Amino acid sequence: MWGWVRAMAGRGFFICIEGLDCCGKTTQSLRLVEALRGLGFDAVYTAEPSGGEVGDLIRRRILDRRRRVPVVVEAVLFAADRLDHVEGVIKPMLSEGKIVVSDRYLYSSLAYQGAAGLDIGWLLEINRFAPKPDLAIYIDVPPERLVVRFGHRRSVMEYLEVQREVYKVYRMLVDDGRLIPVDGDRPIDEVSRDIVGLVLDRLRVRGMTPSHG
Ligand code: TMP
């Protein structure tokens, strides 16, 4: 259905953490990496938009402004940044057998650019090079709970009306089974305990133990 290649036949483990702006993704991704390292796994944190040149351009010229650029421009730039990220960071780390935790990935394009009107099939097509994660987690917090966290200097995405539309697409991806939801509207420790538990279960099923790290 996705036309995706598997991440890396049997090597490494690729996790992405998704969710609305300010839902706690970064905190949870970092905590997950820390917990995995504490257990002896070789885990690394990475994020999209990436720290590369296109990612930098996205932050400065696409997100940090008052009005959105045409959504096709967003989609193509996020896809270009993802290609950089996949080739320069994700694949090399996976081929070293690491557990890669990406704070946002392809599903952010489906949700944010999909919510702005782009066809999900087309978004998948322009992201065809992106390997399917072994586990894609969605931190579920309703948009109304997040508005209070949006700062004074907000990005073009940090508006309730935008987040409401994005939320609908994320929920659809959960209903499709493409994202595994975790209730994020709880104390940080409870959310991270669930995420770590979910990841450890999947690692066990894949036969990955700390000695593989
Ligand atoms: P954040 O990672 O700090 O939440 O900020 C990234 C913003 O970029 C966030 O509003 C979601 C948005 N975004 C997209 O619209 N499409 C994408 O493909 C990605 C990776 C992020």
Which atom of ligand 1 lies closest to the CA of 109?
18
* Three-class DSSP category at 67: coil
Q: Which of 144, 127, 145 is nearest to 90 (CA)?
A: 127
Q: Does domain 13-206 have CATH number 3.40.50.300?
A: yes
Centre of ligand 1 to C-alpha 186, Å, is 23
Q: Is 168 within 8 Å of 5 (Cβ atoms)?
A: no
Note the pLDDT tens digit of each residue in 153-164. 789 999 999 999
Q: What is the pTM of this model?
A: 0.94
Q: Is 12 within 8 Å of 93 (Cβ atoms)?
A: yes
Centre of ligand 1 to C-alpha 154, Å, is 13
Placement of tokens 């081929």 in the chain: 95
Q: What is the structure's pLDDT at 1?
A: 44
Q: Is the dihedral of CA 186, 190, 192, 198 positive or negative?
A: negative
Does the Cβ of 155 fall within 6 Å of ligand 1? yes
Structure tokens at 25: 């993704």
Q: Give me the residue spans of the domains in the chain.
A: 13-206
Q: What is the structure's pLDDT at 7?
A: 47
Neighbours of 33 (CB within 10 A): 20
Question: In a structure prediction context, what are the per-residue pLDDT tens digits for the chain, which is 213 residues long?
Answer: 454 555 444 589 999 999 999 999 999 999 999 999 999 999 999 999 999 999 999 999 999 998 999 999 999 999 999 999 999 999 999 999 999 999 999 999 999 999 999 999 999 999 999 999 999 999 999 999 998 888 877 899 999 999 999 999 999 999 999 999 999 999 999 999 999 999 999 999 999 988 544
Task: Identify the DSSP state of 148.
Answer: G
Q: What is the structure's pLDDT at 211?
A: 59
Which atom of ligand 1 lies closest to the CA of 105?
20
d(CA 161, CA 138): 20
Q: Which of 32, 14, 74, 28 is nearest to 49 (CA)?
A: 74
d(CA 40, CA 55): 31
Beta-carbon contacts of residue 95 (< 8 Å; ≥ 6 apart): 8, 11, 12
Centre of ligand 1 to C-alpha 106, Å, is 10
Which atom of ligand 1 lies closest to the CA of 112?
15
